[in-house]
Amino acid sequence: MRVIVTPKATVLDPQGAAVREAMQHLGMPEVREVRIGKYLEIEVEGDAAEVEPRLHQLCRDLLSNPVIEDYQLQRSEEGAE
Amino acid sequence: MRVIVTPKATVLDPQGAAVREAMQHLGMPEVREVRIGKYLEIEVEGDAAEVEPRLHQLCRDLLSNPVIEDYQLQRSEEGAE
């Protein structure tokens, strides 16, 4: 499974702003905005459907800060991963 | 466009190992492995196809460390983003 944690649209992302400026100075003036989040690949034994509700809970409690971040939980294409 | 930067499979990921143990202690003993990377949403003005080669170059030079990390560059589904 994959979890993507991103800063909420209303929250400042200074790291993203720094990367945007670096990209603009390094030959990509077209860059308008960069937002940086976390990407987690989680390998779970057993049935993804059975595990998913608990994983959602952990996304809220451990992997993201719901005050300032959103998360997306995705099943990987390959069954077991 | 989206860039996902992940540690290479052969590289230790201590942050991922720490999250794996935390998840195992918080009600998900089924977790076998966690690997943590970066997720970047990059908004670019103009034609994605024209920008893409330079973005690949920046992925290698700025956004990832090719010695220890891999990156994936994906076009977002929505055209302009």
Would you say residue A5 has pLDDT above 50? yes
Backbone angles phi, psi at A3, to 5 degrees: -125, 130
Percent of chain A with pLDDT over 90: 86
Mean pLDDT of chain A: 92
To test the contact with chain B by mutation, choose from A36, A45, A54, A57 the residue with the greatest count of B C-beta atoms within 10 A, namely: A36
Predicted local distance difference test score (pLDDT) of residue B81: 39
Cβ neighbours, 10 Å, residue B71: 18
Domains for chain A: give ranges and CATH numbers.
Answer: 2-74 (3.30.1280.10)
Query: Is pLDDT above 90 for A53?
Result: yes
- Give the pTM: 0.89
pLDDT at A3 over 90: yes
DSSP string, A15-47: HHHHHHHHHHHTT-TTEEEEEEEEEEEEEESS-
> Which pLDDT score, from 0 to 100, does residue B76 have?
80
Predicted confidence (pLDDT) per residue in B3-46, tens digit: 999 999 999 999 999 999 999 999 999 999 999 999 999 999 98
What ipTM did this prediction achieve?
A: 0.89
Q: Who contacts A1 (Cβ-Cβ below 8 Å, separation ≥6)? A: A41, A42, A44, A48, A51, A52, A55, A73, A74, A75, A76, A81
Given a cut of 90, whether residue A78 has pLDDT beyond it is: no
* Mean pLDDT within A39-63: 94
* Chain A residues in contact with B54 (beta carbon < 8 A): 27-28
Residue B72 C-alpha, separation from nearest chain A C-alpha, in angstroms: 12
Structure tokens at A52: 């998913």
Do the Cβ atoms of A54 and B28 come within 8 Å? yes
A43–B32 CB contact, under 8 Å = yes
Mind listing the pLDDT tens digit for each residue in B43-74? Answer: 999 888 899 999 999 999 999 999 999 999 99
User: Does A80 have pLDDT greater than 80?
Assistant: no
Backbone angles phi, psi at B24, to 5 degrees: -60, -35
| Cα A13 versus chain centre, distance | 13
Contacts of B32 (CB under 8 A, 6+ apart): A43, A44, A45, B20
Q: What are phi and psi of B13, to 5 degrees?
A: -130, 85
Distance of residue A62 Cα from the nearest chain B Cα, in angstroms: 8
Structure confidence at residue A38 (pLDDT): 97
